[in-house]
Structure 1
Amino acid sequence: MICPLANFEDVYKTDHGAVYQCSRQNCYWLEFAGSTTAFKVSDFFSFKKKIDAIDISAMIIDSSRTADFTIVMPYRTSRCFVLDINDVLNLRELLNGAKFMITLNSVVQTCLKGTPCRVA
């Protein structure tokens, strides 16, 4: 359930989902596979690391039925993600784009404040 007082700003969108930032609640909202999940900032980046750590090649090579899907349960959420290979790839694309935009925004804000701007 989304708070009616929340103030959402688009971070990144693809055909498969979107990431929004809520400045009022200091969190990120992930819209993916037909539902929306709220993440604290640190939990969002931990979730991204979990998704990045999924071994796609092992899922492809393994012929057992259980290798067709992976289950990811993010910290402090009531959501459970059951992902097939396409879902993992689509979610990675979404999360990578969101992380890039978050980092870019941080660099731009630093530069606008007049402090020396270094891009890593």
Structure 2
Amino acid sequence: MQGEIHSQLIEIYRTECGAVFQCNKNNSFLLEFGGRNSTFKTSNFLDFISLVKKINLTEMAKNLSPHADIAILMPHYTERCFVLTMKDAIDLKALLGGAKAMIQLNSMVKECLQPYVC
């Protein structure tokens, strides 16, 4: 069963901190980050990317209060709570930014090739 699931996943983007996979069968994305996996529907994944993008790293670095260098994300569409240190936030932003760029690139390529596909 586990091998069957992994054979349906297409790697979208990978860094040393994690990876993003796409499952066309379930129309979902799998995020591998922080030693855990989280599955998202497409719209929820794009929303999660926006949520992570809103983390203000400059404010985290400037604020001297004890817990200012932690970002907590609890998206309602997943059971996972993301507790991110500043480094985690930087790593997750890089991973999701790369994944989003690859998704957009794939869409552009499909759009360009569509007139040539019968």
TM-score in same-fold range (> 0.5): yes
1:99 equivalent in structure 2: 100
2:69 equivalent in structure 1: 68
- Over the aligned positions, Cα root-mean-square deviation in angstroms equals 1.6
> Is the CA contact 1:17–1:31 (under 8 Å) kept in the aligned structure 2?
yes
SS in 1 for 2:26: coil
Give the AA of the match of 1:86: K
State the Cα deviation string for residues 22-53 of structure 1 (Å, max 9, x = none): 00110000000000000011111111111111
Structure with the higher fraction of residues in helix conformation: 2
SS in 2 for 1:29: strand
TM-score normalised per structure 2:
0.90
State the Cα deviation string for residues 54-97 of structure 1 (Å, max 9, x = none): 11111111111110211001231110000011111110100010
> Is the CA contact 1:43–1:75 (under 8 Å) kept in the aligned structure 2?
no
Note the residue ranges of structure 1 that are not aligned, 5 or more in a row. 116-120
Number of equivalent positions: 114
Note the residue ranges of structure 2 that are not aligned, 5 or more in a row. none
TM-score normalised per structure 1:
0.89
Q: Distance in 1 between matches of 2:69 and 2:103?
A: 32
> Is the CA contact 1:74–1:80 (under 8 Å) kept in the aligned structure 2?
yes
